[in-house]
Amino acid sequence: MLISLGIFLSTQALADRNPVLRRNFPDPFLLESGSRTYAYATNSDGVRVQISSSDDLEHWSVPTEGLARLPAWVNENKPDVWAPEVLRVDSHYVLYFSARSKSVTRPDGIGRLCIGTAVSTHPDRDFVPHDTPLICDEFAEGVIDVSPFRDGDRLYLYYKNDGNCCKRPTWIFARELDSTGLATVGTTKQLGVSNDQPWEGHVIEAPTMFKREGAYYLFYSANAYDKPGYAVGYARCDGPLGPCKDASTHPLLKTPAQPVGWFGPGHQSILQIDGRTVIAYHAWNVLPDGKRDRCRAMHISEVEWTAAGEPFIKLDSERAEEWRCPTRRP
């Protein structure tokens, strides 16, 4: 018998247990499938696509490899498989990710980041990649942080140009997908969201489209990923292809003013589960001496909503239990 997560998982439980996965697990993405929730993360310690799973959002399995092999278009010496996200399409799962091309360069001569796809009949393993990228030639500087979204029977893909690599503005874009989730259709739409707020610094990234009670919300992260100023904001959108407008000049989720043992929350994923909204994000672990650990661990918090349909997040103000990043795998 399946037990509703809401019965035994409380907001306070999430706050008390953060981070919920105490290892390097950056750019987390959540997918509910069957009785379990799966989390996917950027490469770490030799694992190209990290996958962990849980049946209560609190206790997570040790991450394992999800990508069967590198696709032929990726630079084997510097693959940079980043920010994987997954969409279920019919009886299979499509994995989207960014990786570095071995044949196409950006203006500074470094391999261009492109969007790739891989397919599996399982949510947690054996994703077989396609040997040509889905999107690579749209921007000379490259494209990263891909995120799929289903709206009824239609599928969409969100991403950002890698402008910060080459002193160019960064924008968030959207493109519709065909019914297989493996090909784009129509034209690319610029959603109107860029790094134009002081708190956003030189980059805006990690788009996540979310629909609630007929309203569209585009969550995103901004500022330097390795600094305390990294944070999460959101925009309100007219539809899945925009236009979108920043809902506030301040971030929704940021480093608390008082020391809590971590900083730089971001690269979020939003999941509606058992009538509740949760947000997964990474944050840097801080050691007792105040220095940054090497781990960006996964945190999960509750997203609450005002009567006007605006999200807010209450963070636990207590300092997290001290811990250290596990030793690197051989």
CB 56, CB 296: distance < 8 Å:
no
What is the DSSP-derived secondary structure letter of residue 118?
A: E
Give me the residue label for tokens 């969550």: 219
Residue 206 and residue 220 in contact, taking contact as beta carbons nearer than 8 Å = yes
**Cis peptide bond upstream of 148, omega within 30:** no
- Report the distance separating Cα 136 and Cα 100, nearest Å: 10
Of 295, 203, 251, 268, which is closest to residue 27 (Cα–Cα)? 268
Report residue 161: phi and psi, to 5°. Answer: -70, 145
Q: Which of 101, 102, 86 is nearest to 49 (CA)?
A: 86
Instruction: Annotate 191-235 with DSSP letters as a single string.
Output: EEEES-SGGGTT-EEEEEEEEETTEEEEEEEES-TTSTT-EEEEE
Catalytic residue among 27, 124, 162, 246: 27
Q: Which residues, 6+ apart, have CB-to-CB distance to 167 below 8 Å?
A: none
Phi, psi (rounded to 5 degrees) for 11:
-55, -45
CA atoms within 13 A on the CB side of 53: 15
Handedness of CA 137, 143, 146, 151 (dihedral sign): negative
Beta bridge partners of 101: 74
End-to-end CA distance of the chain: 40
124, 141, 205, 302: the catalytic one is 205
Task: At 114, list the tokens.
Answer: 């492109």
Q: Is 205 a catalytic residue?
A: yes
The catalytic site residues sit at: 27, 205
